[in-house]
Every structure is written in structure tokens, then in C-alpha cells.
Chain A
Amino acid sequence: MGKLIQLVSEDLREKIEEYIVTHKLKAHDKLPSERSLCELFSANRITLREALKHMQNEGCIYTVHGKGNFIAEPKYTEDVRSFISYSSGWESDGYQTRSKVIDFYIIEAPKKVAQALKCRIGTSVYLLKRVRYLNDIPLFLETAYIPIEYCPKLDSFNFNSCSLYSTLEQFYNIKLTHQEHTISITKLEAFEAHLLGMQEGDAAFCIKGITKTSDGTPFEYCVSLNRADKYKMSGRLSSANETA
């Protein structure tokens, strides 16, 4: 039983977390050495390593070999409550945003895309693949599919600098109001990892979204790969009338 619950290492982790906050340690500050942490909290090495491993796995600290443990940057937190465009959402949170177009061309909709957009297989759709940066860190690899009949000549815009949603609103008078997501875990392929500055096989969020206009027409299908080490979601939810 003792092995399954790790009360001792959890307790130690709480103390380290307290130390970090009360000593006002910031991202990239160094934690005291393992030896001094052991002394400070009268803990043994094994318990300490267990506690540090958990903090590492959950992205609270990172280790540099031969140098020690450092405080990790907090993850970028996206609020899933309200529908806002990528750039305006993050910018209002004080981040710098930037995009890099990787691919932009017309394809015949494969089955998955056609199903999501409720169109026929083979319908012409734009494929727009972009890397999204926050404060110059590549965080998201986004692939959007939009039927060309909804917005002809979309490919005359440069989405390195324009926001997709404001372009749609300004030039096509299309207002997107509603988004449905499914969130799963994926492992990055080599080329995806390369674009995000990660290693092949690293875990990432795979978020598949269908964006609709106010009359419920599916307008855009988007697959976004978000770095698990830098990103998390949050939401404040109201109680659904719990009948249980």
C-alpha cells in the first residue's frame, strides 16, 4: 500500500512548491541542490528524487545535466470558454503572436475533411497549414480546411501577416461564431516535431475543430497539434443539472 500512495514524496513536493513560492523563484531560476533540499526538509535522496521526478513529468521544473533543477516557464493557458480568434485572444492576454505559412493550396477533400465539412468527397477545399508562434516560440501546428466556394481567391491573401478570421469577416462578410472540438493525445511525426522544435514521438495535443457560422453551417475544419510541454487548457464550468 505504501508504495502505491507515496504520501511522503507528495508531502515533500508540497514543501518544495511552498519553497518556490515563498522564495519568489521565477522561471529559469535554479532550485537548491538535491543535497541542500534533503537537508532543508530532512528528507532522503530517494524520496526527494521521486518528488522531483513528478514535478518534472508535470512540467513544473526541468533538469540540466550537471547543473541542477530549474523552474520551468508556466504553460500557456488557453481559456476554452469563449470563442475568439487566435491572434486577438492571445494578444489580449499580452502575448506576441506570429504565424508562418507552411502550405497553402487547393486539394480535393478526403473523406475525413468532407465528413466534417458536410460536403462531397473530392470537393475543392483550401488547405492552410501554419505554425503559430507565441512570443517567438512555435507552439501550434494548425491545418485548416475551407471549401473554396465559401471564399474564392482566399489564396490571394498572405496569412503570414493576416488573421484568417478577420480576413473572412472583412472581405467575405463571414462571421464564425461557434466551434466544436475534440481533444486527444498524439505523438508527433518527424516533420511535425521539426516544425515545432520538438523530437519525433513527443506527445502533443491533437485538437480537431469544426467552426460554424451563426446558421450552423460547418465552414472550417481544423486540426491543431499543440505542444504538450508548453500548453494547457482551462475552463470555468457551470454545474450541469446533476441528476446523479
Chain B
Amino acid sequence: MATQHSRSAARLMMAPAVVLLLGWMLVPLIMTLYFSFRNYFPLRPDRVPGWAGFDNYVRFFTSSAFWPSVQTTLVIVGGVLVITVVLGILLAMLLDQPMWGQGVVRILVIAPFFVMPTVSALVWKNMFMDPVNGLLAHLWRFFGAEPVSWLSEVPTASIVMIVSWQWLPFATLILLTAIQSLDSEQLEAAAMDGAPKLKQFWYIILPHLSRAITIVILIQTIFLLSIFAEIFVTTGGAFGTRTLTYLIFQRVLESQNVGLGSAGGVYAIILANIVAIFLMRIVGKNLDA
């Protein structure tokens, strides 16, 4: 159908976006790769820059901060995923029920997603988790308990809590969209055959949601692997809340050890790509349909 003329026009129209993204991907990537093989301390004139071979990779990997940061990353990503997916399924099923004021409830539930990360982190840190004046401290004292110093006693769990609050709306909204596409006749038939609610959920609703759940998990993982502001303004990476992203940020910008940080960056890129491959497969399959 398309003529030669329209084909070349189409190529021309695509060019700006393709060229820009290609540059955005390749230029910094090549620079990061280059730095990762160098000894490079921009703020330390006494240290001579030079080739480092794989030293940076080995040192980043074997440094005492590496494995704890991987562990923290996994705990935060895993914790948030479990909380948002489980609560998201429950919430989506609740919101799918007939009720009055459904639209308003939907907005209330989605609202946290629109709050900028620095705001939600600071509001939780101060107005809820502050051990003296926070609302949770008031609540604890009301029940005669000793207020908890959330961000220093259970820092990782607190960050999981804050991030889950931000991402629950996303999971809920996507799962709700998926539930609404479920053929209700199927459930009615099952109910008529006397299938208990739990079985209906297990054998009809959950399989129907499986694709949406996979997408939620993959997309959230990509965003969660690089959460930054939530740690930056709450603990600043202290108390064992240093994720891989935060560790690299500290190496590169705080201690200006660019070579070491860049090697860490390459690890982060590889990690993200492993997740990305799975996501692309699902999205790619959808394109053919």
C-alpha cells in the first residue's frame, strides 16, 4: 500500500527520535564503559589518572559495601513488590464491586502516585515517623506504647512502607483494569455450579490476572531498582539502607571516585537489562496481536 515516496518520508519523520535516543543511549554508555576501566579522581590532583584494567570491577565487587547494598536492594524491591501486588489484587477486587461513589474512591486510592517522591518521603519521615512529634508516635503513646524511631530502628522496612504507599496505586489501577476485562459470565457460571468464592478466585480470577501481575512486577522492578529520592531525603543511605543505586551515586558524586562508580554503574545496567529482557518479550508479543 505504501509508496516509495511515503516510505522515505516515514523514515525521515522517524529520524529525529531515533537519532536522539541513539545518542542518549550510546554516548553516556560508552563514557561509563571508558571510565570504568580508568583510575579517575576529578577532585584529587595528586592521583594520576591512568588505565585500571578490571581493577574497578573487582574492587567494586569485593568491597565491603557491595553485598550489603545488593541485599538492601533485593529487600526493598522484593518487599515493595509483595506488598503492592498482594494489596493491589485485594484492592482491585474491592474496587470492582458495585458501590456508591466508586469514582471518588478510585481517585482517593490513586492519589499517592501523583505525589512527588521528595514530598512523600519527607511527609512520612517527619509527620508520621518522627519519634517525638510524628502521628505514629502520638498513636503509640495513646495506646501506652513506647514510640518507635522508625527510620533508625527499622529503616529498611520504613522505606519499603513509604515506597509501597507510592506504588500501590499503580498496581491497583493496572490490576483493576485487568479485572474489569474479565467475562462476568464465567464467574456467574462457576457460582451457579456451586464453586466457593475462594476457588473462583484461585481458578478463574488469578489466572486471568496473571499477565497483568507479570507486567506490574516487571515495570515496578525497573523503577524500584533505581529509587533514589526516597533514600536521599530520609536516611541518606545510613543505617543499612544503601541500595546499589545509592552506593554508585555516593562513589561517583560524593567521593568522586569515578572509575569505581562507573564500574558499579555497569553492574547496575546489566542487572536492569536482565529484568528488561523479560518485560520486552511480553510487550513484544502484545505488538503482534
Task: Indicate whether A and B interact.
Answer: no
